[in-house]
Amino acid sequence: MRGAVKTGSALGSRFARKVGAVVGCLATLCSLAALAGWAAPAQAVRSSQRTPEADLATTMSPTRGFTNYGNRVSFTATVTNEGPNTAQNVVVTDSFFTASFVSVSGPGCTPPPITCTTASLAPGHSITITVGLVVRAIHNQLMGNSATATSSTYDPNTSNNTAGGELRSN
């Protein structure tokens, strides 16, 4: 038969050694690629199908620490996407107590109940929401405000999604 290599012949032994060497080289290359962090095609498909994550972190700060009944005060909430992916459909809800609503500014904000929405928030970017309130707390009573951020993107750390601030009335 033409083109066939006879088993046990010198040519057949050399051919088998060369095939074995090529297979060994391929195995070594695959091992080196894995060490270098390169994914094999099947792993690359799996890693591209991972659920995107975006860690939203919220901070809150009042304009001052003490105030008087009837004074106007502001609370500023900052929501930052700590990554690694873009947060989609971000919603920030803000609530307050012992105060009357005056104003709200920020992306997509509506008056009480205060809800602010943004379609997306890129990693490392922030949105700022400022709520103006009139103090209704009487002498030595607390008034406060809190904000919570959520997203349709999976958040691996929800413990930092809510922040609050309080003021004491003089």
pTM, whole model, 2 decimals? 0.70
Instruction: Check residues 54 and 66 and name the one with the higher pLDDT.
Output: 54
State the DSSP string of 127-170: EEEEEEEEE---TT-EEEEEEEEE-SSB-S-GGGSEEEEEEEE-
Compute the mean pLDDT over every residue in the chain, rounded to the nearest whole number: 81
Q: Which residue has the tokens 């909430």?
A: 77
Question: Can you tell me the distance from the alpha carbon of 55 to that of 82, in angstroms, rounded to the nearest whole number?
Answer: 5
Give the best-scoring range by mean pLDDT among 60-69, 122-131, 139-148.
122-131
Is there a contact between 104 and 123 (Cβ–Cβ < 8 Å)? no
Report the pLDDT value the prediction gives residue 66, as an integer from 0 to 100: 80
Question: Can you tell me the distance from the alpha carbon of 114 to that of 93, in angstroms, rounded to the nearest whole number?
Answer: 6
How confident is the model over 77-129, as pLDDT tens digits?
Answer: 999 999 999 999 999 999 999 999 999 999 999 999 999 999 999 999 999 99
pLDDT at 17 over 90: no
Alpha-carbon distances, residue 89 vs 16, 56, 169 (angstroms): 60, 12, 37
Q: What is the DSSP letter of 50?
A: S
Question: Can you tell me the distance from the alpha carbon of 108 to that of 124, in angstroms, rounded to the nearest whole number?
Answer: 20
How confident is the model over 154-166, as pLDDT tens digits?
Answer: 999 999 999 999 8
Is there a contact between 167 and 64 (Cβ–Cβ < 8 Å)? yes
Nearest-5° angle of CA 122, CA 128, CA 133? 155
Phi/psi of residue 35, nearest 5 degrees: -65, -35
